[in-house]
Structure 1
Amino acid sequence: MARGIRLLVLDVLKPHQPIVTELALGLSEIQGVEGVNITLVEIDKETENIKITIVGDNLDYDEIVRTIEEFGGVVHSIDMVAAGKRIIEESETPQDKLEEF
């Protein structure tokens, strides 16, 4: 049996307030969410660019976006998604090696 979306990595822009701990706790309350990591990527005078990693079972993307928006954030992109019975680790490809040059 498939377990739906299990991992999401999102690039998000948010104002300084509310603080990321409040956003993390808000996201952790969503049904199916087992864990939330938020990493500060960049900060300027009025906003913060953050990376949000969420793991769980049958993650509801729309509910996650609604929650982020309730905290004043905007999703810029989905940087990674995993679905199915298990999460597969990313592996290096020949194209990745070309990026080194």
Structure 2
Amino acid sequence: MATIRRIILDVLKPHHPNAYEFAMFLADLGNEYVVHLAVIEVDENTETVQLELKAPSIDFELVQAAIIEMGASLHSIDEVDACSQINVNQQD
């Protein structure tokens, strides 16, 4: 089975939690998760952010559930780096 190593998401989130809290919550979801969050657009009630997550293995369903839990919505999956299990084992 393939694993996701990197994913870039377009997310619409409320102002609260702020970008720092949002990124930290996502980073705490898994081992070695690295989160880069950039605020792209701000309006009266929401922020459009681009999220880049990197890790040896990303649990996308968990990330998606966390986004929803924080009151945000996933607009699009803009980039994905996936690796087959054979390639993952060769890199260890």
Q: 1:59 to 1:71 in 2, by over 3 A?
A: same
* Equivalent in the alignment of 1:16: 15
User: 1:30 Cα shift?
Assistant: 1.2
* Equivalent in the alignment of 2:78: 79
Unmatched runs of 5 consecutive residues or more in structure 1: 87-101
Following TM superposition, the consecutive aligned residue runs of length 4 or more in structure 1 with deviations greater than 6 angstroms are none
C-alpha distance in 2, partners of 1:80/1:33?
Answer: 19
Unmatched runs of 5 consecutive residues or more in structure 2: none
With the length of structure 2 as denominator, give the TM-score of the two structures: 0.85
Q: From the two aligned structures, give the one with the greater strand fraction.
A: 2
Classify the secondary structure of the residue corresponding to 1:65: helix
CA RMSD of aligned residues (A): 1.6
Letter in 2 for 1:41: I
Corresponding position: 1:43 with 2:66: no
* Equivalent in the alignment of 1:93: none
* Equivalent in the alignment of 2:69: 70
With the length of structure 1 as denominator, give the TM-score of the two structures: 0.78
Kindly name which structure, 1 or 2, has the bigger radius of gyration based on alpha carbons.
Answer: 1
Instruction: Indicate the percent of aligned positions where both proteins have the same amino acid.
Output: 33
Report if the CA contact (8 A) 1:5-1:58 is conserved. Answer: yes
Q: From the two aligned structures, give the one with the greater helix fraction.
A: 2
What number of residue pairs does the alignment pair up?
A: 85
Corresponding position: 1:25 with 2:19: no
